[in-house]
Every structure is written in C-alpha cells, then in structure tokens.
Structure 1
Amino acid sequence: MVTAADPGETRTSVWLAARPATPARRRSEAPSGLDRERITAATVRLLDSEGLARFSMRRLAAGLGVTAMSLYWYVDTKHDLLELALDSALGELRMPAGPTGPTGPAGPPGSGEAGWPGRLRTMARGYRGVLADHPWVGPLTAAYPNIGPHARAFDIALQRLLDATGLADAARTGAHLAVSQFLHGCGGPVRRAPEGDFCLALDVLIAGIEAKAATA
C-alpha cells in the first residue's frame, strides 16, 4: 500500500515545493507529447482500473508509451503525482453556488432543497460519489495534506456554508469538525454504509447543527 512517505522520510507537498525552471539547453531533451495534466489524467485512470496497491511509475509509463524516467521531467516523486491525482479527483465535485443562507436559492435543478441544509446534503452526497467512483481517494486523503486548489475550493465552500448556520467560535469549529469527520468516515469507502443509512446519518448531523444554532 502506498503511504505518504517511507519510514523516516521527510518530504514537501507538491503544492508547496517550488519547481525550478528547466534549463533552456535541456528543454529539447524532454519527452514530446507529455505534460503534467496528461500524466495526472493517466494516473487517475490507472488508479481507477488497477487500484492504489498496484500503482507504480513503471505501469503508468507503460500506459503512456514512455519510459518511467520520462515522468520525472514533470514530477519529482511518485508521491507528488499521487497528490496531483488526488486533487484532480476532488475537482469533480460541484461546489454550491450563490447565497447559502437559510433563505438562499435551491440547490441544483431537481434537488428540491434550499438553504444551507440542502446545500450540505448536496455537498455530502457529491463527496460520497467521488469516493465511490475513485476508491483510492479516501486513503490518499488520509495520507497527504489536502491543500491543492480543488481541495481548498471544497473547504472554502464548506466554510461559507457553515457561515449560513449562524454558529460562531467553538460551536462553529465543532460543526466544521463534525462535518469533516462525517465525510471522511461515514462517507468513506471503508465498510460503506447503504445509501439509506448514509442519508439518515446525514439528517441527524444536520439536525444537530440546526439545534445548536437555535440555542446559540
């Protein structure tokens, strides 16, 4: 199983590491037809088809028709590439748009839900859908810092949604922790609960936030 780093190894997240510009005299040596976006998309496909345990740079390179060493023109390590793939998958989430207050507009067409409770339901179900489509996302979310652009966009959307609850200070922090733990736990791929149980647990979570907000 892939882990964030080997025992005793210290690494910097791909989102924090500065990549030096490729020297002009060596740019022509880089393999043609490759870029980070194409490699990341191929990584997502390989993880979907083979799983996290079977992922390797050699398998990825074979699928792209290049040598494994060619990939290191664009990423420094396998862990960097897994971080890129993780954030790419999170980019499939649809963020709630527009006002998120209790009287805000309804969610996506056909959702029949309005205000922050409906938007939280939409967000939670969407996150669960990503985990179902990409079972490797759950383990990588636990192994790597979630600070890529799509992960940050998700957290910003969640923060704005929680703004609409009226909670503040410790109660607001507790609500954020409860939602985050719910999504990574009950909505995760390990021993996945049936859809009905998931929705019931989500309703209980929302009812708890509403009750806390009512007494704030």
Structure 2
Amino acid sequence: MVTAADSGEPRTSVWLAAGPAAPARSGGRRSEAPSGLNRERITAATVRLLDADGLTRFSMRRLAARLGVTAMSLYWYVDTKHDLLELALDSALGELALSAGPAPEGWPGRLRALARGYRRVLTDHPWVAPLAVAYPNIGPHARAFDTALQRLLDATGLADSARTGAHLAVSQFLHGCGGTARRAPEGDFCLALDVLIAGIEAKAAV
C-alpha cells in the first residue's frame, strides 16, 4: 500500500503547499507547460486509473501514458505522486451528497443518509479507505463532510464530552466498518449503524 511516508522524508500536504514548482530541463531552462493539461483533468484521470488498476499499481508513468503526455509534464501541476493521491482522495469525497435540509426522521435520518453515502464512496473507490488513513485528509470536500457531520451532532443536543464521544464513535464507525465496504454485507452495515444511532439517542435522552 502507498503511504505518506513511503519516501522516508517528511512532506507537506498538497492542501498546505504553496504550489508546485515548474520542472526544469537540463541546463536550467524551464520546459513549457504542456497544452491541454490542468490539475482538474489530471486529478480526474488519477481517479479513473485508481478505479481501474488499484492503488498498488498506480504510478506517474502510467498516469502520463493514459493522458498521452510525458511523466515530467505532470510535475507542472503537482510536486509528487502523493500530491496526486491526496487530490484524488478529496475528489472522490466530493461525490458525497451533503444536504443539510430537513429529513422526515430528523438528525438520525440524515446521519443514516450521510453514512450510507460514505459507504458508497468506499465501495465505488476501494482505494479511498487506505488513503484516508495515510494522508491528513484536509481537502475542501473532506472538510465539508466533517462540517456536515458536526451539524448533525449539533442537532442531537449532546454537549461537551458526550458530543466529543459521539463524534469519535461515528468517525471510527465510518472509517472502520465503512472501510470494509466490500467485505461487510449491506445489511450488517445498516444494522450496526442503527445500533450506533440508538446509542447516541439514548445518551442524548439522559
């Protein structure tokens, strides 16, 4: 599995970096930026390649071949392969529906919808779960997801340590039980989710 520490060197998240430095040709002359490429197109191609070939087979060379460019061309837009994996991770999380509108079942219904949506992302993109562990996961879509979860927890009425515990329980459930989406049957996932929600409701009623 690819991890953020593969290189053995500390790195800065792509979401905190100022931006990639343009690559240079030998002799110190900068090459021209490749026509038709941008970070969004490269990220989308990365997601497709990860879906098709998996995380262990991903490489900048294979991605460049799919885009019909040289591997060096990609470094106009990202500094490292890890940057691209972070971008792909957040792009996949962008598929989540994060509507904060009312639901017939109130916050429990919205939490069920959010959790099932997260599970679908993990099922559609099996590489998301390991990357969510390997990287800081602080991209805009990840932060929007956490904001949606925080608003749901606001609606429970829990406060202080109980609120913190509920957030931890939901997060661990999604990354644990949700992360085994292809092995755990849907019914088992939904039953576990119902038990989790019942526990939060019981705590809120105290």
TM-score over 0.5 for the alignment? yes
Are the counterparts in 1 of residues 21 and 76 from structure 2 also a CA contact under 8 Å?
A: no
Match of 1:66 in 2: 69
Amino acid at match of 1:86: L
Amino acid at match of 1:40: T
Cα drift, residue 121 of structure 1:
0.2
What TM-score does the superposition give when structure 2 sets the normalisation length? 0.93
Q: Distance in 1 between matches of 2:147 and 2:141?
A: 10
Secondary structure of the residue aligned to 1:37 is helix
Do structure 1's residue 46 and structure 2's residue 37 form an aligned pair? no
Cα drift, residue 3 of structure 1:
1.0
Which of 122, 125, 143 is the aligned partner of 1:131?
122
Are the counterparts in 2 of residues 40 and 85 from structure 1 also a CA contact under 8 Å?
A: yes
When residues 146 and 5 of structure 1 are mapped into structure 2, their CA distance, relative to the original with a 3 A threshold, is same
Poorly superposed stretches of 4+, deviation over 6 Å: none
What TM-score does the superposition give when structure 1 sets the normalisation length? 0.89
Are the counterparts in 1 of residues 14 and 83 from structure 2 also a CA contact under 8 Å?
A: yes
Do structure 1's residue 176 and structure 2's residue 167 form an aligned pair? yes
Identity of aligned residues (%): 87
Match of 1:76 in 2: 79
Match of 2:90 in 1: 87
Q: Distance in 1 between matches of 2:40 and 2:30?
A: 18
Count of paired positions: 201
How large is the Cα RMSD of the aligned pairs? 1.8
Amino acid at match of 2:133: A
Cα drift, residue 146 of structure 1:
1.0
Q: Distance in 2 between matches of 1:174 and 1:29?
A: 52
Secondary structure of the residue aligned to 1:5 is coil
Q: Distance in 2 between matches of 1:63 and 1:129?
A: 26
Are the counterparts in 2 of residues 15 and 148 from structure 1 also a CA contact under 8 Å?
A: yes
Per-residue displacement from partner, 1:22-75 (whole Å, max 9, x unpaired)? 6xxx89810000000000000000000000000000000000000000000000
Which of 14, 30, 35 is the aligned partner of 2:33?
30
Q: Which has the higher contact order (CA 8 A, sep 6+)?
A: 2
Structure 2 spans left out of the alignment, 5+ residues: 23-28
Are the counterparts in 1 of residues 107 and 155 from structure 2 also a CA contact under 8 Å?
A: yes
Q: Distance in 2 between matches of 1:44 and 1:169?
A: 39
Q: Distance in 2 between matches of 1:68 and 1:202?
A: 44
